[in-house]
Amino acid sequence: MRVLYFHQYFQTPKGTGGTRSYAMAQALIKAGYNVTMVCSSFTNGNTGLNKPFIKNCRRGMVDNIDVIEFNLNYSNNLSYYERIKVFIKFTLFSIGIIFREPFDIVFATSTPLTTGIPGIFARLFKKKPFIFEIRDLWPELPRAMQIIKNPIILGLMNILELICYRSANKLIALSPGIKEGIIKKGIKEKKINLISNGSDLNIFSEKALSAKNKSINKDNFLAVFAGTHGAANGLDTVLDTALVLKKKNKKKIKIILIGDGKLKLKLKKRAKFHKLDNIIFLDPMPKVELVNILSSADIGLQVLANIPSFYYGTSPNKFFDYLAAGLPVLNNYPGWLADLIKKYKCGHLVEPDNPKEFADKLIYLSENPDIIKQMSFNAKKLAQKKFDMKILGKKFVKCFDDVKIDIEN
């Protein structure tokens, strides 16, 4: 059975982004499926291909995945209109693949929402089944963040969203809020599978975690954020927290911000202006290298801007990486992740937009290593019990098996 898998931001563990699609493709291959991954190039990314592009495309086998990569060079630093241009190009190239490649099932994962368009074409013109995975609710999130204000564009996105949902044979939601959002659009619950992001315990193996970063001062209490530095991430709160810690003369606590994004330069300038020597900025790094940093840290920071749509409607990679590394999580917004942290005692919660409480909690945790040790144990146990990528991979494969049975019948 041949799967045509569309993920614009596909990464191997050697890239700097999320590796969910890599892990899920491997689960499909292990179950006997053939997978062709269609993606685009990405700044600081790694699709596993390094041969030259010919007519803006290159192709090759990467760990048993047949990868087709378009030369579009997407970046988080692009403007809104530049991103739209890349999305449209990827969609047009992908539609071409639908008419050229042999396949039995089409799978597409958002964002962007336009990734679902090839699946619509597969249903409409090829009469092939389509599975659509929703990582973020569009256009709800960009509307809530006021990234998109044009009512015409928002209206067109609403229409595309509904067409994607109704065209798909099955839907996969990455969080409870996403699932509820889909149901509110009139989609029957039985059509939706909830499969969150997960913890890749192969990458975050005990052997990998034991190779701690030797350049890090063990006397420091290290809090790490690993993710995009954009408007959605609310990292100004982290800098406000660092300022409180500086005023309290808590030199032992250091905050590392790993990643890139439109606001990184602004954040670095602000840190320099306030002489925040307790903030350390690092460039994006492959996940195989990120393991060493996380294994040397004391706590992971799960931070987002205070936007209610984020509370239950996101499934951030970094949270599950923290769990995989056995890192307690300090979370600054309510929602399903906060509920998990509270239930499984694998971290602490602080109110949104409250740098004083944020700083006080870091100080408290830095002075209580036994609490950190217990929460670390709980975090790792939660990753193993509920969010192991192998467990989620089996649920993922079952969606395809169900569609396969429908085809055969």
- Domain ranges in the chain are 2-198+388-408, 206-386
Token pair 């052997």 is at which residue?
A: 207
Taking CA atoms, 366 is separated from 9, 83, 253, 295, 321, in Å, by 37, 41, 7, 16, 21
Q: 153 CB contacts (<8 Å, ≥6 apart)?
A: 139
Q: What is the pLDDT of residue 379?
A: 98
Our measurement of the distance from residue 276's CA atom to the centroid of its chain's CA atoms, rounded to an integer in Å, reads: 28
Q: What is the pLDDT of residue 152?
A: 86
Q: At 111, is the pLDDT very low, low, confident or very high (cuts 50, 70, 90)? A: confident
Mean pLDDT over 64-68 rounds to 98
Q: What is the pLDDT of residue 256?
A: 97
Mean pLDDT over 42-60 rounds to 92
Pick the range with the lowest mean pLDDT from 60-74, 82-96, 148-162, 294-308. Answer: 148-162
Higher per-residue pLDDT: 95 or 309: 95
Average pLDDT, rounded, for the chain: 93
Mean pLDDT over 35-48 rounds to 91
Name the residue among 301, 315, 289, 366 with its Cα closest to residue 15.
Answer: 289
Q: What is the pLDDT of residue 215?
A: 60
CA atoms of 382 and 395, how far apart (whole Å):
18
Name the residue among 174, 229, 240, 188 with its Cα closest to residue 21.
Answer: 174
Q: At 151, is the pLDDT very low, low, confident or very high (cuts 50, 70, 90)? A: confident
Q: At 73, is the pLDDT very low, low, confident or very high (cuts 50, 70, 90)? A: confident
DSSP string, 46-57: --S--SPPSSSE
Sheet holding 279-282, edge to edge: 279-282, 253-258, 221-226, 299-302, 329-331, 347-349
AA identity, residue 246: K
Decide if pLDDT at 147 tops 80.
no
Q: 279 and 242 in contact (C-beta within 8 Å)?
A: yes
Q: What is the pLDDT of residue 213?
A: 66
Percent of the chain with pLDDT over 70: 99
Q: At 78, is the pLDDT very low, low, confident or very high (cuts 50, 70, 90)? A: confident
Mean pLDDT over 181-194 rounds to 95
263 by DSSP, 3-state: which?
coil
Mean pLDDT over 144-170 rounds to 88
Are domains 2-198+388-408 and 206-386 of this chain identical in fold?
yes
Tokens of 342: 């509270």
329 by DSSP, 3-state: which?
strand
Q: At 149, is the pLDDT very low, low, confident or very high (cuts 50, 70, 90)? A: confident
Higher per-residue pLDDT: 328 or 308: 328
Q: What is the pLDDT of residue 75?
A: 78
What is the 8-class DSSP label of residue 59?
Answer: E
Q: At 196, is the pLDDT very low, low, confident or very high (cuts 50, 70, 90)? A: very high
Percent of the chain with pLDDT over 90: 80
Q: What is the pLDDT of residue 144?
A: 75
Q: What is the pLDDT of residue 212?
A: 67
> pLDDT tens-digit profile of 247-301?
999 999 999 999 998 899 999 999 999 999 999 999 999 988 899 999 999 999 9
Q: What is the pLDDT of residue 291?
A: 93
Decide if pLDDT at 8 tops 80.
yes
Fold of 206-386: Rossmann fold (3.40.50)
Q: What share of the chain is helix, strand, coil (3-state, %, to 5)?
A: 45, 20, 35
Mean pLDDT over 397-401 rounds to 97
| Neighbouring C-beta atoms of residue 402, cutoff 10 Å | 15
Considering only the top CATH level, what class is 2-198+388-408?
alpha beta
- For 118-134, b/e burial (b = at least 16 CB within 10 A) is bbbbbbeeeebbbbbbb
